[in-house]
Structure 1
Amino acid sequence: MDIRFANVADAGALARLGTDSFVAKFGHLYRAEDLAAFLSQAHTEAIVAREIADPAYRVFLAQDKGGHLLGYCKLIMACGWPEHARGANVIELKQLYTAPAATGQGIGSALMARAGEEAAGFGADEIQLSVYSDNPGAQKFYARYGFGKVADIHFMVGEQRDEEFLFAKLLDR
């Protein structure tokens, strides 16, 4: 598996993977109009291309040796929830998605390692992320990397409000 920074030419594939992954895991939870509204605000080619081009983002992807996209991760080099920040230079892990058929192959671990490298290179002292309150698998995954719950928050999918947990990890510098 190779991990590399995304470029604008990858935006369409990343948008499709983001949509496919979100729908496969959570699509059944939402009314069609809420799901469509969310996807149009978070997982379009144009939005992903803007994120890739934005210097405040670090978007990297995992692909197999044949060049097939396996997953991706987005970091925002800014604090998403300053009211819960414990560090002075806090960043946000925005998305870590794997292709639905590729889950369990170490892709998430490889992307987490790369996220840690990026955070360290940026001089971050804390990483925050939100995780769905009814997703114990993701919570367990992040806990393996030292993340823990610091607050109850919410996340909007269209007009539906989901209860989420804010997880964070303090980093050694």
Structure 2
Amino acid sequence: MTAAIREATDDDVEAVVEVAEAAWYAAYGGALDPSTIAAALAEYYDPELVAAGIDHEAIAFYVAEVDGAVVGFASAEQTWADEVELHTLYVHPDRWGEGIGSALVGRVTEWARERGVDRVACGVLAANAIGIGFFEAVGFRRGRQADAEIAGELHAEYEYELAV
């Protein structure tokens, strides 16, 4: 089943939070303590914050739907004249391997091209083997290692870029 990719609306907030929760525990369960995941979800996926991201003019926020249900989402922002930063990309783990993440990357890449940028950049936790495998499979190239703060803890992260 092919996912329909569309712009997110305020009606999608609850579904985005649910997808984020399922994806975080599935992707980061072996890398982060459950209390760290819970704290990060509470901070990053507060419904008011998600709604603000959806409504923000400068942020592209897309959802993937299958049979009317939101099963994935992505958000991005042009942070430099030549770069779009992919802030989030998550797919419900029950739908991994169905091409939904690739479709979301495709839509963000299209949006980036419309802005005339050279690349899409993102960070992936070094311990997130699922995310690393996905981003490399869709053409992102690994750059330098940095540190990312998650719920007050520092974790190694790789910077990734995709030429557009």
Per the TM superposition, whether the score is higher than 0.5 is: yes
RMSD between superposed Cα atoms in Å: 1.7
Which structure 1 residue ranges, 5 or more long, are not aligned? 80-87
Structure 1 residue 37, shift from structure 2 partner: 2.4
Pick the aligned partner of 1:121 from 114, 127, 152. Answer: 114
Letter in 2 for 1:99: H
Partner residue in 1 for 2:36: 34
The 10-residue stretch of structure 1 (149-158 or 45-54) with the greater mean CA deviation from structure 2: 149-158
Counterpart of 2:71 in structure 1 is: 70
2:79 match: secondary structure? coil
The TM-score, its normalising length taken from structure 1, stands at 0.85
* Structure 1 counterpart of 2:25, one-letter code: V
Going from structure 1 to structure 2, the CA distance change for 1:100 and 1:54 (only over 3 Å counts) comes to same
| Higher share in strand | 2
**In structure 2, do the counterparts of structure 1 residues 145 and 36 end up closer, same or farther at CA, with 3 Å as the change threshold?**
closer
**Contact 1:92–1:129, Cα closer than 8 Å, also in 2:** yes
TM-score by length of 2: 0.89
Checking the alignment, whether the CA contact within 8 Å between 1:16 and 1:43 is kept in structure 2 is no
Q: Aligned match of 2:126 in 111, 133, 143? A: 133
Pair 1:106-2:99 in alignment: yes
Unaligned stretches of 5+ in structure 2? none
Question: 1:154 aligned to 142, 147, 157, which one?
Answer: 147
Structure 1 stretch 49-58 or stretch 127-136: which is displaced more?
127-136
Aligned residues: 162
Residues in 1 aligned to 2:163 and 2:109: alpha-carbon distance in whole angstroms = 11
Distance 1:37 1:75 in 2: 23
CA contact (8 A) 1:52 1:58 kept: yes
Identity of aligned residues (%): 25
